[in-house]
Amino acid sequence: QQQVKQSPQSLIVQKGGISIINCAYENTAFDYFPWYQQFPGKGPALLIAIRPDVSEKKEGRFTISFNKSAKQFSLHIMDSQPGDSATYFCAAGRGSTLGRLYFGRGTQLTVWP
Amino acid sequence: DGGITQSPKYLFRKEGQNVTLSCEQNLNHDAMYWYRQDPGQGLRLIYYSQIVNDFQKGDIAEGYSVSREKKESFPLTVTSAQKNPTAFYLCASSKEVKRGYTFGSGTRLTVV
């Protein structure tokens, strides 16, 4: 059973627009929700993360919105730029452990100039 | 600078041969992970280790083996039993989950 479901699989946005990627999780024990950004041929890099005690976290143009009751969280990229074109992965896990993260299947974002 | 190093970046092997992928970290992280990435499949966990001399199977462990003899090293062997080994392999490490993972730059394995 897939622990984290991510949509859409691909997203095309015009420069300056807002990119929105959604994720849903199953396990209510999860308390750490990161987003990773991956460029072609590279490993993913941590972009931004949120804990369930807040509903929103913003870092520059990137914002995570979190809905604990719906078990959903989303990444918003404001003023999207061609340099944001990459694959984005959401993930979920139990933050206070040495265990594992469960990743979504990824969203390939293309920002047209 | 601390980091995680995977080598080689590209690897070619003949079908039926075992191959070992290297992963080394100098971040003093306790946990290490191996993921496989295929187009449209996301990141699938192969094996992970939380401490030296101990490791756990992930979601797709069949056809793979690992060892963790040193804290800094977590090599992955792709055996001939792995039916479809051609993929991009990523190694990661973590001090604890809430601090996030640090990923290596990956090894692209092609079996012909």
Task: Give the model confidence (pLDDT) of B52-95 as tens digits.
Answer: 999 999 999 999 999 999 999 999 999 988 889 999 999 999 98
Residue A73 and residue A27 in contact, taking contact as beta carbons nearer than 8 Å: no
Kindly report, residue by residue over A81-109, the tens digit of the pLDDT.
999 999 999 999 987 676 789 999 999 99
Handedness of CA A51, B57, A41, B94 (dihedral sign): positive
Residue A50 to residues A19, A25, A79, B66, B104, Cα–Cα distance (Å): 18, 14, 21, 32, 23
Q: Does A100 touch chain B (CB under 8 A)?
A: yes
Looking at beta carbons, which residues of chain B come within 8 Å of A49? 98, 100
Q: Do A43 and B30 touch (CB under 8 A)?
A: no
